[in-house]
Amino acid sequence: MAGIITYDNIVIQQGQCLMDIALQYYGTADPQALIALVQDNALDSVTTKLTAGQTLQIRNNAEFSNTKIANYYRANNINPATATNELINLIATASHYAGTWNSDNNILSFIAGYGAEEIAITLKEVLSANTYCRFIVSSNNPINGTINWGGSIYPLNVNTNEQVTLTVVASLEINNNITLNLGYLNPGITYNLKLIITKA
């Protein structure tokens, strides 16, 4: 019968948050998916802390689902768990011709020149093809450009003191072939970019 929503019950794994569940079962962490999880499970908010072993209801054939990504998670038995006390950054170094990488706070500081800027990133480990990751970026000044993620291109737009999180994946094996191509910045201004890459 049209219009009836059916559900499956799922069990929360250690370290999972609502965004992880949305990605795993709906293939997207868009607000519509998160709000559905909150409403269907009578949760307080999208930031409600989940407990390992807790049961949640997941909609079958939700209209907002990205089935391609959800099926990939299911086929490869991927259970994203990002609600940990410590965020493990996969970046070994991030380099800019006039910059300094601080691995203690994950910040690349550089003074912008008079043209487009390029930042090269090397990881601590090789990522096999089709590994889903989160790329987390914040900056003290606005930036825009693209991320070359192993041959895949993702747009990047960050406002002042805003944190942006992108889910990224490439069909190629990745180690040091990650590049941030930034558009023209304010010359002579110091930019502090916080860069974190973690497995999804």
Count of Cβ atoms closer than 10 Å to residue 35 Cβ: 14
CA distance 123 to 142: 25
Do 65 and 105 belong together in one domain?
A: no
CATH number of the domain bearing residue 48: 3.10.350
Task: Please give the average per-residue pLDDT across 38-67, as a whole number.
Answer: 91
Domain boundary among 41, 75, 109: 75
Do 61 and 96 belong together in one domain?
A: no
The pLDDT of residue 1 is above 50: no
- In the chain, where do the E strands start and end? 7-11, 55-59, 91-95, 99-102, 107-111, 117-123, 133-139, 143-149, 152-158, 163-168, 178-182, 190-199
Residue 108, in any domain of the structure: yes
Range with the poorest average pLDDT among 92-96, 154-158, 196-200: 196-200
Residue 199 — very low, low, confident or very high, per pLDDT cuts 50/70/90? confident
CATH number of the domain bearing residue 138: 2.60.120.260
Domain span holding position 186: 91-199
Task: Please give the average per-residue pLDDT across 151-171, as a whole number.
Answer: 89
Per the prediction, the chain carries an average pLDDT of 89
The pTM score is 0.58
Q: Which of 46-55, 75-84, 122-131, 138-147 is the most confident on average?
A: 138-147
Domain boundary among 31, 51, 75: 75
Residue 56, in any domain of the structure: yes
The token duo for 115 is 């043209």
Residue 167: its pLDDT value, please? 87
| Nearest alpha carbon to residue 36 among 13, 65, 15 | 65
CA distance 89 to 163: 15
Domain count across the chain: 2
